[in-house]
Amino acid sequence: MHKKAISVVLTTYNGAQFIQKQITSILNQTVLPQEIIICDDRSTDNTVDILKSFATNSLIKLFINEKQLGVVENFKKGVRNAIPGNWIAFADQDDIWRDNKLEKSGNAMQELDDDFTPALIFSDLNIINQNDDITNNSFWNQQKIDPSKITLKSLLYGNIVTGCTMLVNSPMLTEFLNMPKTEFLHDEWLALIAYSFGKFKFIPEQLIQYRQHNNNVTFSNSVKPLNFSQRLKFELDHISGKKKFLPRQFKLAETFLKNYRNQLNENSISIFEDFVKLENKHYFFQRLSRKIANS
């Protein structure tokens, strides 16, 4: 497979505080994208003014939404306006990309893409604060993620593919545009495609500085470990049945299986069905099943 051009799709909403650094980091890549498509979702701060100051750059195509679309639909709009056939890198508004992010991701995709199978590339991240200080050198280490051990079975218990690190090919973009309107995010949906009937490759390097702050749309809660009292309350609530364990994951699996059953092989269908059956099991059994899946 020859290397294809890359389109970056960047979505924004009230991102004035950090957006300039993100766009600058994309423009400073060792391998430049063919285009940077920016879709603003009706920002009420001065994000649009900052975006317009960059719009004189020929790489940038700026779209201001007429109505608010939400995260996933806004990314879909960006994808629809991208040059057909390009690989697409998803970008969030408040991160900072390492200057070799697209070069590394493109090289990996070149080895993976066959023009027919949905494929994605993803990587590790640094965690930074509002002052650009690195607070954790590896998101994977912080979350105790070993991507070499992740399987479809373990992925059902929680997504490990961070959307802002992804590079996807045209077949995966087709699946993305056909993604039903649900509460689920594109990264968790596309990760299941990659691990069930698609292809994936992870880069064990931190190619993005992911900014952790209170307004993150994704991962803002997952990167904050529970203290002792919070953990104790969590356990008691689930043991007593006051709260359900992994309700989002069960619903995601059910929805995905309903949409893709005809495209999954028998083994994958069995993995999904066995996982869904766990929803009505006791919390201890669910925890044990998760431990086994991740072992």
For residue 106, pLDDT beyond 70: yes
Take residue 65 and report the two structure tokens written for it: 């939404």
Nearest to 164 by CA among 15, 52, 5: 15
pLDDT of residue 228: 74
Q: What sign does the dihedral 166-172-178-179 (CA atoms) show?
A: negative
19-27 vs 47-54: helix axis angle to the nearest 10? 20
User: Could you tell me how many helices (H) and strands (E) the chain has, helices first?
Assistant: 12, 9
Within a 13 Å sphere around the CA of 241, how many CA atoms are in the beta-carbon half?
Answer: 4
Mean pLDDT, residues 134-143: 96
Under the banding of pLDDT at 50, 70 and 90, the label for residue 285 is: confident
pLDDT of residue 221: 43
Gap between the Cα atoms of 201 and 109, Å rounded? 8
Within a 13 Å sphere around the CA of 18, how many CA atoms are in the beta-carbon half?
Answer: 24
Mean pLDDT, residues 276-282: 94
| DSSP string computed for 217-284 | SSSTTTTS---HHHHHHHHHHHHTTSS-SSHHHHHHHHHHHHHHGGGS-HHHHHHHHHHHHGGGS-HH
Gap between the Cα atoms of 170 and 64, Å rounded? 25
pLDDT of residue 1: 62
Average pLDDT, the chain: 94
pLDDT of residue 229: 79
Gap between the Cα atoms of 109 and 113, Å rounded? 6
For residue 237, pLDDT beyond 90: no
pLDDT of residue 214: 63
pLDDT of residue 264: 98
For residue 168, pLDDT beyond 90: yes
Query: Which residue would you say has higher pLDDT here, 216 or 112?
Result: 112
Q: Residues 211, 130: contact at Cβ < 8 Å?
A: yes
DSSP 3: P
Mean pLDDT, residues 240-249: 87
pLDDT of residue 6: 98
Take residue 121 and report the two structure tokens written for it: 């590339």
pLDDT in tens, 171-230: 999 999 999 999 999 999 999 999 999 999 999 999 999 998 766 555 444 446 678 778
Give the angle 274-277-283 at the CA atoms, nearest 5°: 110
Give the angle 212-183-205 at the CA atoms, nearest 5°: 40
Within a 13 Å sphere around the CA of 193, how many CA atoms are in the beta-carbon half?
Answer: 23
Take residue 160 and report the two structure tokens written for it: 């490990």
pLDDT in tens, 47-61: 999 999 999 999 999
Q: What is the pTM of this model?
A: 0.93
Mean pLDDT, residues 222-247: 76
pLDDT over 90, % of the chain: 85
pLDDT of residue 2: 75
For residue 36, list its beta bridge partners: 8, 60
